[in-house]
């Protein structure tokens, strides 16, 4: 069985990033007019096809035509994250994540009741934590949890928000006593977390949308909980699941590797 990794405080928020491919919720706080709705639907299709630069150009055109609006801004934020995930160099990725957070915060300013805007903030904060110092990582991880929770409160159909929160619960729960004590003493601690809640969140995400990434992270959680047969079932489901997001092959490859390690 794959050995469970010990998490150091310095690596903390690298592991708090449960970011798959968030898909817009059908629920919107304000319905766009028909032409804008059609344009946004086309942009969502481009994202799912992996045409991120084309999607960004169209979002920029929409904003230039109609002005800033939450549905345009949070989509632009998530699309910048999509694009950054295809970039290898950290120096090129970080500005995209920073702009993603700026867009997400602008979406919140435009509509603080948008669950998708809160989700976009959680995603961008998490990605920026990857290359931050420990203090900043802890601060950003708190923001990830706060905005994921708020996204779910506002829109219980947001699978991506459950996924982000599930990953947060699992990785914080995996902190050892020593690491947890350091975070509490030096950085003021983190909210309570449990792997059981992570399982519930990943399962809720799967009831909303069947995606390889949800199954993959559910399997990792079962491994952490020393439940190998349930982990195996989750990884097999990831391999058999749909491939309708551009990062699915990456997730399936990891599920295949982890499944082999269970044998």
Query: Residues of the chain whose pLDDT is less than 50?
Result: 1-11, 13-18, 26-29
Residue 131 CA to residue 94 CA, distance in Å, equals 8
Q: At what angle do helices 212-224 and 195-208 cross, to 10 degrees?
A: 160
How much is the pLDDT for 191?
A: 67
Check if CATH label 1.25.40.10 holds for domain 9-14+30-209. Answer: yes
Q: Mind listing the pLDDT tens digit for each residue in 19-65? A: 555 656 544 445 677 778 899 999 999 999 999 999 999 999 999 99
Closest Cα partner for 83 from 72, 74, 92? Answer: 92
How much is the pLDDT for 192?
A: 77
How much is the pLDDT for 13?
A: 44
The burial class, CB within 10 Å (0-12 / 13-18 / 19+), for 36 is middle
HSE, side-chain direction, 13 A CA sphere, residue 94:
7
Q: What share of the chain is helix, strand, coil (3-state, %, to 5)?
A: 70, 0, 30
How much is the pLDDT for 244?
A: 80
Q: What angle do CA 9, 10, 14 make, to 5 degrees?
A: 95
Closest Cα partner for 25 from 75, 84, 85, 97? Answer: 75
How much is the pLDDT for 9?
A: 40
User: For residue 21, what are the CA distances in angstroms to 55, 82, 119, 210, 228?
Assistant: 14, 8, 11, 12, 26
Closest Cα partner for 208 from 160, 168, 148, 150? Answer: 160
Token pair of 174 as six digits? 């995996």
DSSP symbols for 192-211: ---HHHHHHHHHHHHHH---
For residue 22, the Cα-to-chain-centroid distance in whole angstroms is 7
- Through-space distance between the first and last CA atoms of the chain, rounded to whole angstroms: 7
How much is the pLDDT for 186?
A: 56
Q: What angle do CA 242, 247, 252 make, to 5 degrees?
A: 60
How much is the pLDDT for 34?
A: 75
Task: Supply the DSSP symbol for 21.
Answer: -
Residue 84's SS3 state is helix
How much is the pLDDT for 10?
A: 38
Neighbours of 35 (CB within 10 A): 11
């Amino acid at each position: 069985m794959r050995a469970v990794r010990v998490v150091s405080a310095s690596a903390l928020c690298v592991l708090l990033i449960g970011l798959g491919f968030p898909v817009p919720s059908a629920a919107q706080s304000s319905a766009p007019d028909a032409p804008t709705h059609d344009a946004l639907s086309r942009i969502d299709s481009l994202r799912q096809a992996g045409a991120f630069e084309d999607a960004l150009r169209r979002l920029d055109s929409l904003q230039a035509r109609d002005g800033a609006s939450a549905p345009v801004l949070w989509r632009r934020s998530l699309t910048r994250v999509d694009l950054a995930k295809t970039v290898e160099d950290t120096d090129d990725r970080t500005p995209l994540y920073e702009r993603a957070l700026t867009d997400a915060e602008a979406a919140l300013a435009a509509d603080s009741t948008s669950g998708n805007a809160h989700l976009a903030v959680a995603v961008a904060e998490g990605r920026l934590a990857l290359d931050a110092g420990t203090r900043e990582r802890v601060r950003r991880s708190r923001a990830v949890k706060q905005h994921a929770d708020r996204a779910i409160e506002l829109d219980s159909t947001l699978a991506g928000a459950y996924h982000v929160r599930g990953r947060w619960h699992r990785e914080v729960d995996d902190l050892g006593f020593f690491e947890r004590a350091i975070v509490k003493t030096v950085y003021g601690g983190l909210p309570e977390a449990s792997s059981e809640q992570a399982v519930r969140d990943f399962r809720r995400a799967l009831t909303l949308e069947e995606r390889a990434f949800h199954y993959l992270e559910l399997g990792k959680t079962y491994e952490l909980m020393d439940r190998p047969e349930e982990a195996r079932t989750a990884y097999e489901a990831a391999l058999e699941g749909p491939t309708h997001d551009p990062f699915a092959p990456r997730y399936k490859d990891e599920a295949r590797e982890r499944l082999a390690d269970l044998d």
